[in-house]
Structure 1
Amino acid sequence: MDRFALSVRVVHQVTAALFVVCIVAAACLYVGPLAEAVGRRPLVAAVHEWAGVLLPVPLLVGLFSRALRADLRRIDRFTDADRRWFRGAPRRGRQAGKFNAGQKLYAAWIAGAVVVMVGTGLLLWFRFALPWIPRASVLFVHDLGAFSIVLAVAGHVRHAYADPEAWRGMRTGKVSPAWAREEHGAWFSEVARGPRP
């Protein structure tokens, strides 16, 4: 059964690629042995800066997609089933809509983190700090945000690999009805009923 439209998958994959470029370039700037092995610090810094500035672009372009806007509306609303999911209710997957509460929370957190990272990154890129905010403070927030994003993205990827069917859903756009019924039961029922007249 169809889970993600092509436009949603492209936005996800391009954003993921930009994240990887940002993280790898940052590692080449901050980790001594990597920095020495790669060299060319100005080029690596430019790649990091441009990948970071471009992070919101796939989502902004993707807003032209009806499917992406529909998914964003689903992510933006917490339901009673989401509250039960957080409490760890038995068979919580069967109550979940297209996105469970954990996915919604992760999406909201990563969106906010990207805004903070792009904002602090721009301040650092242009060597500008507001008079009442020292540059060291901006760098601290940027670095702390980067470490938290690396941890969150690593958890996200680990969780995706642990569920091959979810991974297949993002790669191909399709999942099995049995998986959908078990993991996102409310969404499965909604799709099975078909569109409302």
Structure 2
Amino acid sequence: MTSTAGSTAPTAAAKRPDRAGRPGRPQRPDRVRRFSRAERMVHRITGLLMLACLVSAACLYIGPLALLVGRRHLMVTVHEWSGITLPLPFLLGCLSAEFRADLRRLNRFAPYDRQWLAAARRRLTSPAARPAGKFNAGQKLYAGWLAGAVLVMAATGLLMWFTGVLPSLSRTSAIFVHDLLAWAIVIVLVGHVRRALEDPEARLGMRTGYVSRSWAARMHSRWLDGE
């Protein structure tokens, strides 16, 4: 059976991405699926828990804000439980094949990622100078750093909550590390939000799961090539 010219176009346009999260074609061929629903939910819930954690911390440690809000016991409770549950969305996300596939991408530093970092240091912005897979080198470093920071924050927070668990570590030391790292997280998150606000297409991908094929080709060309 022969096919006429263009007969395969509807089939190609309707093709769905595979479960590993490689770019596929939605009903509109100019769009590429970037994130699954599970990945978007992990991002949103983690963001809300992080926001609750930071806001409650500010209400505890910034004097004028603490006086304005009051309810110190409530703020302590919100801070403790939002911090403890912060890793939960990540753990539940590991049930998703798409989420696990993206974790493997984030944990793999390719040779072209070093090229991306070198271009970033020289402030080169052309897509050719900054090759990237589904995640660029900056996103990989950010994800790794934040994951480690959250673990340290949870550990020091538990030491502050349950004093005496590790007698060799003083509560003062845990508070010092916890507070210092908290300020570092605030600075990094402000940078993350700033970058997101500068890239509407990236926000669209996290909100709807899809991005334009032209944006993907420009910012993440190696992802479209199957990497």
Long gaps (5+) in structure 1: 192-197
Q: Which stretch shifts more, 83-92 or 133-142?
A: 83-92
> Is the 1:129–1:135 contact (alpha carbons within 8 Å) kept by the matching residues of 2?
no
3-state SS of the aligned residue for 1:175?
strand
Larger RCO of the pair (alpha carbons < 8 Å, separation 6+): 1
For 2:68, give the aligned amino acid: A
Mapping of residues 26-175 of structure 1, within 5 Å: 26-88=57-119, 91-92=127-128, 95-128=131-164, 130-175=166-211
Identical columns (%): 54
Q: CA deviation at 1:93?
A: 6.7
For 2:101, give the aligned amino acid: A
> Is the 1:18–1:51 contact (alpha carbons within 8 Å) kept by the matching residues of 2?
yes
Partners of 2:189 and 2:154 in 1: CA distance:
17
Partners of 1:87 and 1:94 in 2: CA distance:
9
Partners of 1:22 and 1:92 in 2: CA distance:
39
Partners of 1:72 and 1:47 in 2: CA distance:
29
Asked if 1:5 is matched to 2:36, the reply is yes
121 and 93 in structure 1: CA distance in 2 versus 1, 3 angstrom threshold: farther
Q: TM (normalized to structure 2)?
A: 0.81
Richer in helix (by share): 1
Q: Which has the larger radius of gyration?
A: 2
Partners of 2:81 and 2:45 in 1: CA distance:
14
Long gaps (5+) in structure 2: 1-31
Partners of 1:9 and 1:152 in 2: CA distance:
20
3-state SS of the aligned residue for 1:87?
helix
Q: CA deviation at 1:95?
A: 1.9
For 1:124, give the aligned amino acid: M
Q: CA deviation at 1:129?
A: 5.7
> Is the 1:8–1:68 contact (alpha carbons within 8 Å) kept by the matching residues of 2?
yes
24 and 48 in structure 1: CA distance in 2 versus 1, 3 angstrom threshold: same
Q: CA deviation at 1:132?
A: 2.4
Partners of 2:219 and 2:134 in 1: CA distance:
9
> Is the 1:63–1:69 contact (alpha carbons within 8 Å) kept by the matching residues of 2?
yes
3-state SS of the aligned residue for 1:95?
coil
Q: TM (normalized to structure 1)?
A: 0.93
Aligned pair count reads 191
3 and 93 in structure 1: CA distance in 2 versus 1, 3 angstrom threshold: farther
